[in-house]
A and B are shown apart, each in its own frame.
Chain A
Amino acid sequence: NSKVIQTPRYLVKGQGQKAKMRCIPEKGHPVVFWYQQNKNNEFKFLINFQNQEVLQQIDMTEKRFSAECPSNSPCSLEIQSSEAGDSALYLCASSLPSPSGNTLYFGEGSRLIVV
């Protein structure tokens, strides 16, 4: 199925520590999304890119996260100072650009636990 690769699968951080997650999108997919899924199955859109450019991001991401999708390197999402409420599954997804169809293919996620 999906060939979106996310690392690490799990990370445990103390409050105030940085937490960095990486994502290799499916080959040939220029569009990349990051979502946060909490324990209640609620999905929060964080940021998306097309090629190396940010398309949209929410305020929280802009203020507390650092994210990039450099060419020829994995995309990354880094929380600058982890808080307990950041504990969640962070999902990366990639897709082709429209009009080819923009099915999002998801990786298995990075589960962050902030203690």
Chain B
Amino acid sequence: QQKVQQSPESLTVSEGAMASLNCTFSDGTSNNFRWYRQHSAKGLEVLVSIFSDGEKEEGRFTAHLNRANLHVSLHIREPQPSDSAVYLCAVSMINAGAKLTFGGGTRLTVRP
């Protein structure tokens, strides 16, 4: 059964400093990785999707995937206080109906 773990549990950065979040997964056959964020008690906003090893950039958000190391990371360039939220890593297979397995989340706080 897929296990997805995120670190750190919480992270505080100053506005403008790079924020880096980590996610490890257990099933090396996974090929569908997404980062979502959730502002308090609201729905999930998809930030970036990545399906193959390497890097994928969407605006200020960059995901790095290394499937051999069972690791996917998210880097947030020039974070702003409005980026303060819980960031969730979600892992699945690419096929319709494939269930996402979520990590426990990283709570990011960006100080002005």
**A-side interface residues toward B, CB under 8 Å?**
1-2, 4, 6, 31, 33, 35, 40-43, 45, 48, 50, 55-56, 89, 91, 93, 95, 97-99, 101-109, 111
Contact B43 A91 (CB under 8 A): yes
CB distance from A89 to the nearest CB of B (A): 7
Q: Determine if B102 and A43 form an interchain contact, defined as CB atoms under 8 angstroms apart.
A: yes
Contact of A102 among B41, B44, B45, B96 (CB under 8 A): B96
Beta-carbon contact of A107 and B99 below 8 Å:
no
Q: Contacts A42-B104, A101-B49 given: A108-B97 contact, CB under 8 Å?
A: no
Whether B86 contacts A41 by the Cβ 8 Å rule is: yes
Partner of B99, one of A40, A56, A98: A56
CB-CB contacts of B13-54 with A at 8 A, as 1s and 0s? 000000000000000000010101000011111100100000
* Residue in A2, A48, A99, A103 whose CB lies within 8 Å of B97: A48
Considering only CB atoms, which chain B residue lies closest to A45 in the complex? B99
Can you list 8 residue pairs at the A/B interface with Cβ under 8 Å?
A: A40-B104, A43-B100, A89-B41, A98-B96, A102-B32, A104-B46, A106-B36, A108-B42
B-side residues, CB < 8 A to A, are 32, 34, 36, 41-46, 49, 86, 88, 90, 94-102, 104-105
A101 to B86, CA, bound (A): 24
B96 interface neighbour in A4, A31, A106, A108, Cβ under 8 Å: A31
CB distance from B107 to the nearest CB of A (A): 9
Which residues of B lie under 8 Å from residue A55 when comparing CB positions? 97
Determine if B34 and A103 form an interchain contact, defined as CB atoms under 8 angstroms apart: yes
Given contacts A45-B100, A48-B99, A103-B34, contact A98 B44 (CB under 8 A): no
